[in-house]
Amino acid sequence: MQRPIRKLMLATSIVFAASQSFAFEPERTAECIAPANPGGGWDFTCRSVGKVLTNLAYIEGNVQTVNMPGAGGGVAFAHAVSKREGDSSLIVAASTATTTRLAQGQFAGLNADQVSWVGALGADYGVIAVAADAPYKNLNDLVEAIKEDPQSVKFGGGSALGGWDHLKVLITAKAAGVTELPKIKYLAYSGGAEAITQVVGGHIQGFTGDVSEVLGFVESGDLRVIAVLSEERLPGEFAGMPTAVEQGVDSIAPNWRGFYLPAGVSDDAYNWWTGTIDGVYQSDEWKQIMKQNGLMPFHKSGEEFEAFVQQQVKDIRDLSVEIGLVK
């Protein structure tokens, strides 16, 4: 059963966030589970946010990162559900990969309602790109080619069939009015760089991945981004890349970074964590970490984030059923 929506106390500045008064008093130390081995995105989320929590004195002691790999995040999710209910000193790193696997039933017997979704504080937005000399000058050119013959355009990405990179193409195609989604060709590679190499070499026509993967290839003149899957143009060196939205295709696909808590924590504890995540996101220290690591602005917390996660799970499940990945 989905836990009741809570009324949240949201911070409007770092000073206000640090001075909020809750009946809940955080433990001197906290634990952050990274559901993978050291070095990946979830590990980065735990370690970098944990450092900010300590530096800004949200947590008096330290925040210990515990790596718990297995089942694409499923081992950590099951651990939080079955063994840590009500533990308000634990947060677990999550991302769009988490909601994708939940939507596709990859965490056997578990669902998104069994934890408390706290917030997200940054994202790596999806992109669709082609070789610099490709005949597709914009997203609509590519869409028209797919509509004419869904198998004429082969896409490649760094996730498995049915993974987030694959779904970005399908989300975009569906938003553009393509009806034969299962016929769209997608090839899974060991990483984004390998997929881009295949595009540049002319072996496949389209790359689907994250904006952080393409900048070097764009600057070298090998790759051309025809759609960033964000609400509006991204800042800085990405500002010249057009969005799908501005081309009339309502496709938005952020690979967000955030956290959930075990179910059963008190309202005061949940509100403390959401207010704290707000404060971290607004801090100069976190903004610098985002810049250094290629994260783009994306922030939702509390009730808004809970609703976002539930909708994302539903949308991904519906799409996965439509293309035959899930029954």
Can you list the domains of the chain with their CATH numbers? 14-123+255-322 (3.40.190.150), 125-247 (3.40.190.10)
Q: Which amino acid makes up residue 132?
A: A
What pLDDT, on a 0 to 100 scale, did the predictor assign at position 3? 46
* Residue 10 pLDDT exceeds 90: no
Higher per-residue confidence, 287 vs 14? 287
What pLDDT, on a 0 to 100 scale, did the predictor assign at position 101? 96
Residues 6+ apart with CB under 8 A from 76: 33, 34, 35, 68, 70, 92
Pairing of strands 254-262, 223-228: unpaired
The chain-wide mean pLDDT, for the chain, equals 92
What pLDDT, on a 0 to 100 scale, did the predictor assign at position 139? 98
- Count CA atoms within 13 Å of residue 247 on its CB side: 26
pLDDT band at 106 (very low <50, low <70, confident <90, very high): very high
Residues 6+ apart with CB under 8 A from 35: 42, 68, 69, 70, 72, 73, 74, 75, 76, 77, 92, 93, 94, 98
> SS3 for 281-311, per residue?
HHCHHHHHHHHHCCCEEEEEEHHHHHHHHHH
What pLDDT, on a 0 to 100 scale, did the predictor assign at position 327? 84
65 by Cβ neighbours in 10 Å (0-12 / 13-18 / 19+) ranks as buried
What pLDDT, on a 0 to 100 scale, did the predictor assign at position 13? 35
Higher per-residue confidence, 23 vs 10? 23
Q: Percent of the chain, pLDDT > 90?
A: 86
Across the range 116-145, mean pLDDT stands at: 97
Closest CA to 227 of 74, 123, 37, 214: 214
Q: Rounded to whole angstroms, what are the CA distances from 133 to 44, 69, 130, 137, 225?
A: 36, 41, 8, 9, 12
* Residue 14 pLDDT exceeds 60: no
Which three-class secondary structure state does DSSP give residue 92?
strand
In the numeric block, the tokens 């070095």 are attached to: 39
Residues 6+ apart with CB under 8 A from 65: 32, 33, 34, 43, 46, 47, 50
What pLDDT, on a 0 to 100 scale, did the predictor assign at position 294? 86
Residues 305 and 258 sit within 8 Å (Cβ to Cβ): yes
* Residue 85 pLDDT exceeds 90: yes
Across the range 95-123, mean pLDDT stands at: 97
302: number of Cβ within 10 Å: 24
* Residue 19 pLDDT exceeds 60: no
Closest CA to 301 of 261, 266, 241: 261
Higher per-residue confidence, 325 vs 2? 325
* Residue 22 pLDDT exceeds 70: no
pLDDT band at 17 (very low <50, low <70, confident <90, very high): very low
The structure's pTM equals: 0.87
Residues 6+ apart with CB under 8 A from 159: 165, 166, 188
pLDDT band at 25 (very low <50, low <70, confident <90, very high): confident
